[in-house]
Amino acid sequence: MKDIENIRLDGTSVVILDQTLLPGETKFLTLASADELFDAIATLKVRGAPAIGIFAAFALYVLAVQIEAEDYISFCRKIMEYSAFLNSARPTAVNLHTQLKRMERLVESCKDADIPVILDAMRKEAQDIQQEDINMCKAISEHGLSLIRDRFVILTHCNAGPLATSRYGTGLGSILLGHERGIRLRAFCCETRPLMQGARLTAYELTRAGVDCTLICDNMASAVMKQGKIDAVFVGCDRVAKNGDTANKIGTSGLAVLAKHYGIPFYVFCPSSTIDPECETGADIEIELRSQEEITELYFQNPIAPPGINCYNPAFDVTDSSLITAIITENGVCKAPYGF
Ligand code: MRU
């Protein structure tokens, strides 16, 4: 499949593919101001846990270039302010926090260096983060192939493909790699209300790669499982607790319950950068709440609910580790007890 370059550094700006416009429009945005960079994460122009971590690292570099500081102390203070600002754009995916902290640590380790030297180091660190993600996704996809047989049918939710990472993807990586290697695979994608990442992005990535893919509404998953159409469920995730509980797009935990009921293996894919060593269980994971317009209006020609209706719009849910057959990272296929 031809790669989609979703995030790249262009001099002193970050260029991203605007994921909110897919699949209808392929538009690249050149971003440099703090507000633009924050907005890109908050409005999901760039999205997916590994992708927002990579983007944030580049964003911090781009903001660092603009700092007019007399000395290291004031440069460093401004870096910490920008980092905290970017980190506040979304709470659930740990990668955003992890990669910003990595950039902060780098700056802290450069106390005796001149600012141009620190900037060079920051650019290189952000590029390393992206390259490491490419390598991890490739390794995850290879490990995932051990779970697939010829003619497998895989159900997936949200988008855990190249758009959500750097290349290959996590949950979609093995499907794309298996397809490239001639394994006959089919996929069912849940549309993933309210923001439709399954319909807009996963269906786009899979059909673009030539994978046989069927789109279903989220409430059809039980029916296709019951009809025996699904061999396995593959999803990505946004944060993994030490006990193996995982946060992923809202609706994931329901699929895990269904999969258990129907005796279908349920696999979670992520780079180890998505494991949060500071999080004991899923109860410690902050779940992002988003605006009610996403439910009532965003993807509809006309509002679909009475004006002023109360809505509850959590963007993620936590799947209990007891429902997960295995978690696949770049280090292999891990089974409970996890103890990450
Ligand atoms: O709100 P989103 O679109 O950023 O949510 C993304 C997901 O839930 C993905 O499944 C997850 O980040 C895995 S990305 C490889």
pLDDT tens digit at each of 340 positions of the chain: 567 789 999 999 999 999 999 999 999 999 999 999 999 999 999 999 999 999 999 999 999 999 999 899 999 999 999 999 999 999 999 999 999 999 999 999 999 899 999 999 999 999 999 999 999 999 999 999 999 999 999 999 999 999 999 888 999 999 999 999 999 999 999 999 999 999 999 999 999 999 999 999 999 999 999 999 999 999 999 999 999 999 999 999 999 999 999 999 999 999 998 999 999 999 999 999 999 999 999 999 999 999 999 999 999 999 999 999 999 999 999 999 987 8
Task: Give buried/exposed letters for 144-170 (b at 16+ CB in 10 A, else e).
Answer: beebbeeebbbbbbbbbbbbbbbbbbb
Question: Residue 133: which residues within 8 A CB-CB, separation 6 or more?
Answer: 50, 53, 54, 165, 166, 167, 271, 273
- The continuous run of DSSP H or E covering 235 comes out as strand 232-235
Among residues 128, 150, 231, 238, the one annotated as catalytic is 238
Q: Which residues line ligand 1 (CB under 6 A)?
A: 44, 47-50, 93, 158, 160, 164-165, 170, 197, 236-238, 248-249, 315
236 alpha carbon – ligand 1 mean position (Å): 7
What is the rounded CA–CA span in Å between residue 293 and residue 285? 24
Q: How far apart are CA 197 and CA 298, in angstroms?
A: 13
Q: What are phi and psi of 234, to 5 degrees?
A: -120, 125
The encoded tokens of residue 56 equal 């944030």
Closest approach atom of ligand 1 to CA 315: 1
Alpha helices in 24-114 (DSSP H): 34-42, 49-65, 72-87, 94-108
Beta bridge partners, 274, equal: none
Pair 328, 143: CB distance under 8 Å: yes
Can 120 be counted among the known catalytic residues? no
Give residue for tokens 């538009």: 27
Output the pTM of the full model: 0.97
